[in-house]
Amino acid sequence: MTDPAGTNTQVQYNDNGVFGASPNLAFDSTTSALSLLTGVFYQDFPSTSPTSGAGKILYDVVTNPPANGAGGSDADHYRLVVTSGVFTNGPPSQTSYSDNVFGIGWNLNNSFTPADPSKPCASYRIEDKYYQGGVFACEFHTAITTIQGNERRLITAFAPHNDSDAALSGVTLQANVQTQSDYLGNPCVSWNFNNGTIFLYKPLAFLASSNNTPVLRQANAAGSSYVALPYIDDAGNTVVSSAIATPVSGGNAAGPIFTTRGTNTSALTATAPGANAATLNLSCRDGTSQKAGSFSIDASGNVVFRQASSGGGMYFDNNNNLIFRNASAGFATMATMTTSALALKMPAVLPTYMAATLPSPTAALKGARAFISDATSPSFMSVAAGGGSTFAPVYCDGTGWFFG
């Protein structure tokens, strides 16, 4: 009997008809562990340095199908592959360079394509040097080659070699539905590019640590620029940079509704601190005619109601009383208009004319009152005649002016 070669735990093999052993290949009977310290399990390429598109298979496990054929008729390979590609797309200072790739996968050949083209090929790969976007970087890929022969990289990471190029780093996810879950595996957010939706499984808050900068932008109607969506400025105001409208598809949908909460609060406040007037413009359409009006505060503090379109009138509709108050006098009531009378809490000052300049009497002026400053011998209900120097009240019966 021939004595074993090597030392304890070293695996024996046929070395030209005699036992051989190597310290690089050992078996531990206590742990049932087979150790390969250096070298390769299987290599189907010469030991020379790999060239572009032809890598070394460092580790190859062949899994034969079950006897019932459930695994297919061909053996499957789980392989560890290293390859090196020579590229000439580098910068002028280094036009030609090598990109070493380390990959592990199933049904994988030495060029990271399917060993069996009838089956898909899945792999994890790391590239040490690739020139893209003006910088050298490492790349990481989780990839699958479909049975149609198309490679799909579900996850790709681009990591520049230089910290100064950090702005070019990135991760790309290539999947129609992408779900983010918490540590326990509960789904939180799902991005569905099949129907263009984002689904939130639980309430989430979008927090932006800066202000006075648009957080979100959306393309304008022409697609020529991006418009800022509402954001918070440095004064704590919500900034809306475009007109607010109801959806076009909403038909006769109502316009924006502003509702306040609490007491003594304003539902809507409009200011124009840098303008000569703060104006609220209103408009509507009657058939093909546009009707417009405005309500504004001018630089002198006047409240101005303006009817910008011809025709129509200005209405104050009230259900009970219309009350005029003086804010500077403690909101004292100056006048009250009911359905039956107008009650004044101050003297009413009527216009004064010369008798010859009184408005022409019409049915519309019936009941109007005024004063003339040049009355002659005024007597109640006599025709208002001028030419004198008496100040006297007059009224109109629709056909003429009379003293009274």
Helix, strand, coil tally for the chain in percent (to 5):
5, 40, 55
Do 101 and 159 lie in one domain? The reply is yes
Question: Dmax over Cα atoms in the chain, in whole Å?
Answer: 162
Do 332 and 381 lie in one domain? The reply is no
38-52, 66-80, 301-315 — which is least confidently predicted? 38-52
Do 68 and 141 lie in one domain? The reply is yes
Q: Is residue 121 part of a domain?
A: yes
Nearest-angstrom CA–CA distance, 72 and 301: 88
| pTM for the predicted model, two decimal places | 0.55
- pLDDT for the residue 29: 87
Q: Is residue 272 part of a domain?
A: no
Domain with 169 in it: 56-174
DSSP code of 367?
Answer: T
Q: What's the whole-number mean pLDDT along residues 369-387? A: 96
Q: What's the whole-number mean pLDDT along residues 7-28? A: 90
The more confident residue out of 96 and 267 is 96
Do 356 and 339 lie in one domain? The reply is no
Nearest-angstrom CA–CA distance, 34 and 11: 9
292-322 b/e with 16+ CB inside 10 Å = b? ebeebbeeeeeeeeeeeeeeeeeeeeeeeee
Give the pairing type, strands 289-297 and 303-307: antiparallel
Do 74 and 169 lie in one domain? The reply is yes
Which distant-in-sequence residues (6+ apart) come within 8 Å of 76 by Cβ? 62, 63, 65, 106, 107, 116, 119
- pLDDT for the residue 350: 94
* C-alpha closest to that of 106 among 142, 156, 139: 142
Do 146 and 105 lie in one domain? The reply is yes
Do 162 and 78 lie in one domain? The reply is yes
Decide if pLDDT at 53 tops 60.
no
The neighbour count for residue 178, using CB atoms within 10 Å, is 14
Token output for 264: 């003594």
Task: Identify the band that residue 58 occupies on the pLDDT scale cut at 50, 70 and 90.
Answer: low
Q: Is residue 246 part of a domain?
A: no
Task: Identify the band that residue 123 occupies on the pLDDT scale cut at 50, 70 and 90.
Answer: very high
Amino acid identity for residue 100 in this structure: N
- Range among 67-81, 246-260, 335-349, 350-364 with highest mean pLDDT value: 350-364
Helix, strand, or coil here: 171? strand
Decide if pLDDT at 301 tops 70.
yes
DSSP bridge partners of 370: 394
Task: Identify the band that residue 52 occupies on the pLDDT scale cut at 50, 70 and 90.
Answer: very low
The radius of gyration of the chain from alpha carbons, rounded to an integer in Å, stands at: 46
61-70, 105-114, 194-203, 300-309 — which is least confidently predicted? 61-70
Q: Is residue 385 part of a domain?
A: yes
Nearest-angstrom CA–CA distance, 114 and 124: 14
Q: What's the whole-number mean pLDDT along residues 131-141? A: 94
DSSP code of 366?
Answer: T
Helix, strand, or coil here: 248? helix
Task: Provide the domain count of the chain.
Answer: 4
Amino acid identity for residue 205 in this structure: A
Token output for 313: 């009138």
Q: What's the whole-number mean pLDDT along residues 84-109? A: 88
- pLDDT for the residue 57: 61
69-73, 203-207, 254-258, 320-324 — which is least confidently predicted? 69-73
Which distant-in-sequence residues (6+ apart) come within 8 Å of 398 by Cβ? 361, 362, 363, 365, 366
Do 163 and 75 lie in one domain? The reply is yes
Do 170 and 101 lie in one domain? The reply is yes
DSSP code of 360?
Answer: P
Do 16 and 100 lie in one domain? The reply is no
Q: Is residue 65 part of a domain?
A: yes
- Range among 117-131, 257-271, 280-294 with highest mean pLDDT value: 117-131
Q: What's the whole-number mean pLDDT along residues 17-45? A: 73
Task: Write down which residue in 158, 174, 190 finishes a domain.
Answer: 174
Task: Identify the band that residue 69 occupies on the pLDDT scale cut at 50, 70 and 90.
Answer: very low
- pLDDT for the residue 33: 73
- pLDDT for the residue 60: 57
Residues 88 and 99: beta-carbon distance below 8 Å: no
Do 102 and 21 lie in one domain? The reply is no
**Backbone phi, psi, residue 168, to 5°:** -95, 0
Q: How many residues does the chain have?
A: 404
Residues 396 and 365: beta-carbon distance below 8 Å: yes
Decide if pLDDT at 80 tops 90.
no
- pLDDT for the residue 248: 67
- pLDDT for the residue 72: 43
Decide if pLDDT at 66 tops 60.
no
Residues 64 and 72: beta-carbon distance below 8 Å: no
Decide if pLDDT at 64 tops 60.
no
